[in-house]
Chains A and B, each alone.
Chain A
Amino acid sequence: MTTTHTEVTAAPGVPVVSSEAYEFFVGEAYLLDERRFDEWLGLLCDDYTYRVPIPIVPDQSDKPAYAPVGNIIEESRRSIETWVRRLNFSEAWAETPPQRVRRFLHPSVLVSSDDRQLVTDTSILLTWTELDEPSAIIPGKRRDVLRREGNGFRLASRVVYVDPAVITVSHFRILF
């Protein structure tokens, strides 16, 4: 994340909740949960990027918990469209039948804002249910950049810091 605005706080050390960002994200998550992917694509900026860094567990607690180089997922607006397009194939084996996926979002904390964009942190619990398996839960934190467009927003970038160091669901083609 290269945005370097001053951090927004209500009082020293107390983060501010962004209700306008949260409102956007709840609606966005609803489209994803309902598998309305074509409509969801309409929420993305043309230069949208999506990234999931690799969690690591260094023994020394002052070291970063995510690899500075290397990702699990890295996609662009163009490539993420192919995720949606692929679902039209009967040979999209891994996603047929589709997993049931839900996104439970904590209200979004404002990291920075200006007249162009908001940067927010949002805790997420993503539930993943496949076939007749028990549901799995993937917790993480999203760092999102919402760009102002007219009276609303579009999503400019999403970085997802997932908590588990090892993927345990059957595949990771997941929109957090």
Chain B
Amino acid sequence: MTARATTRQGSDREGLFGEAGFAAELREIFAKSWLFLAHESEVPEIGDYVTRRMGKDPVIVVRDDYGDVQAFLNTCPHRGAALCRGTNGHTSAFRCSYHGWTFDTSGDLVGLPAEGIAYGSKFDRAGNGLFTVPRVETRHGLIFGSLAPEGPTLVEHLGAMDYYLGALLGRAANGYESYGPPIRARNKANWKAGAENYVGDGYHILTTHHAAIAMGMLGDSDEALMASTGGRPTQRENVSFNVIDGGHGLRIFGRPIDFDRPQFLGYPENLQQEFTERLDEGQADLLSGLTAIHGNIFPNLSFLESVIFEPGKPPVAETHFRQWQPISASETEILMWTFVPRDASDEWKHRSHVANLQTLGPAGVFEIDDYLNWAGMQSANAGVAARQHGFNYDSGADVQAISHPHWPGEVYPTNFSEVNQRAFHHHLSTTLEKHS
């Protein structure tokens, strides 16, 4: 597939930025696909809940009285008032502030004021429970929900990405946890701008992040790292790859170093052995000797791990997940979580979070230069004339997938290419066309 994709919806400018495309995405993608809701560590106890959105539908994500995570539309079945107005809480029941209908954590209507007087003796409580998000599943600590009652399971949806997420989050025996609640920031851009950046855009780093790189933020030279780890110049043909599967994609930015044993750069020594034991050979290879790995789970959950170097201290890895929550065709709320291994020390977790903030937090040296590009893509295409044009997605048009001994999905030996962005938009547009 080569791609000066001027006509496909999603790759043409009208499709990417327009209101009609946005409405179709809400209807055909956000109301049907598996969407990330929360990390399980955000609702650890029975009665803990957080409020999130699925597309533009507000939902409550709660650990119910049986210890299971459920999600409900955050609206009273009676007259539609919002049940929870805050970001989070702990409760045994949700009581509507309008007429007092009260629901337990399983969504059942368990009380209503003056029931006999208002409704007589035959009121159907059972038929008036909360609107349940029909499917909620947890994988690698990530809670997803789908508003579609039927369709692919979460594991089927994740496809090849299940393997990569399993490597990233499954290598710690006790899993990962969220370091605090998500940071929330509005960006005056379409949700797809961030998603297509995270899915595989290595090319922008040279220019967008020039200042950060010139200031040494990408850390030690390969020579310095070889000296400190005992590694040697690589014999491998490639150390950087793009992987796609359906609309999902990830990019691996490796170092040209071969190590005697897997080196999970930036992780404490006590976790190195544990990670090695829990990962298969391909997963260990994936995460060893990284500069960074990043990707996007279709449609709007992105992740990135990078290794941050600070003078006089051992390097530290930071792993973050973020969600591009659509608000309108031209505005997105970005939710940002730092994930850390539960078994790391408090000091390490804190360092990892700070490393995340200083690079890809809302004040981070990399992050701030991304925002203006995405917002500029929106404002520069607000009119009629620009939207009559297409984009250029030609980078890496001739790169061929390789047969990889371990890694699932289509694996491309490339660093800077638009393979993944093309796959993201192709999946998006074919999904929309299927339903149009």
Contact = CB atoms under 8 A, between A and B. Distances in A.
Whether both chains belong to one complex is answered with yes
Interface of A: 54, 56-60, 63, 67-75, 78-79, 82, 85-86, 89, 91-95, 165-168, 170-174
B181 interface: yes
A71 B353 contact: yes
Interface string B369-384: 1011101000000000
B372 A94 contact: yes
Contact of B215 (A85, A95, A168): A85
Given A59-B85, A70-B353, A166-B333, A86 B211 contact: yes
A72 B183 contact: yes
B180 A67 contact: yes
A69 B353 CA distance: 10
Nearest to A73: B363
A167 B187 CA distance: 9
B207 A60 contact: no
A56 B87 contact: yes
Nearest to A175: B363
Contacts of A56: 86-88, 181
A169 to B, nearest CB: 9
Nearest to A56: B87
A79 B187 CA distance: 25
B367 A171 contact: yes
Given A86-B211, A166-B333, A174-B363, A59 B86 contact: yes
Given A54-B183, A59-B84, A82-B215, A93 B208 contact: yes
Given A54-B180, A67-B181, A73-B357, A171 B372 contact: yes
A59 B367 contact: no
A82 B333 contact: no
B90 interface: yes
A172 to B, nearest CB: 4
Among B207, B365, B373, chain A packs the most CB atoms within 10 A around the CB of B365
B118 interface: no
Nearest to B217: A82
Contact of B91 (A59, A93, A167, A174): A59
A170 B371 contact: yes
Contact of A58 (B88, B361, B371, B372): B88
A70 B90 CA distance: 19
Contacts of B214: 89, 91
B368 A94 contact: yes
B361 A165 contact: no
Interface in B73-114: 84-91
Nearest to B214: A89
A91 B358 contact: no
Nearest to B331: A168
A173 B180 contact: no
B185 interface: yes
A71 B353 CA distance: 8
Contacts of A174: 363
Contacts of A168: 185-186
Contacts of A93: 208, 211, 369, 372-373
Contacts of B422: none
B210 interface: yes
Q: Which 7 A-B pairs have the closest CB atoms?
A: A70-B180, A172-B362, A171-B368, A59-B89, A167-B185, A94-B368, A89-B211
A94 B369 contact: yes
Contacts of B371: 94, 170-171
Contacts of B86: 56-59
Contacts of A85: 215
A160 B186 CA distance: 20
B148 to A, nearest CB: 28
A68 B84 CA distance: 21
B8 interface: no
B368 A173 contact: yes
B337 to A, nearest CB: 9
Contacts of A70: 179-181, 183, 338, 353
A166 B369 CA distance: 19
Contacts of A69: 179-180
Given A59-B89, A73-B357, A167 B186 contact: yes
A171 B362 contact: yes
Nearest to B216: A82
Given A78-B311, A168-B185, 17 more contacts: A54-B183, A57-B85, A58-B86, A59-B89, A60-B89, A70-B180, A70-B181, A74-B353, A86-B212, A86-B365, A91-B211, A94-B369, A165-B184, A166-B185, A167-B362, A172-B185, A172-B361
A58 B186 contact: no
B302 to A, nearest CB: 18
26 contacts: A54-B180, A54-B183, A56-B88, A57-B85, A57-B88, A60-B89, A70-B181, A70-B338, A70-B353, A73-B361, A74-B354, A82-B215, A85-B215, A89-B215, A91-B214, A93-B208, A93-B369, A165-B184, A166-B185, A166-B186, A167-B183, A167-B186, A168-B186, A170-B371, A170-B375, A172-B368
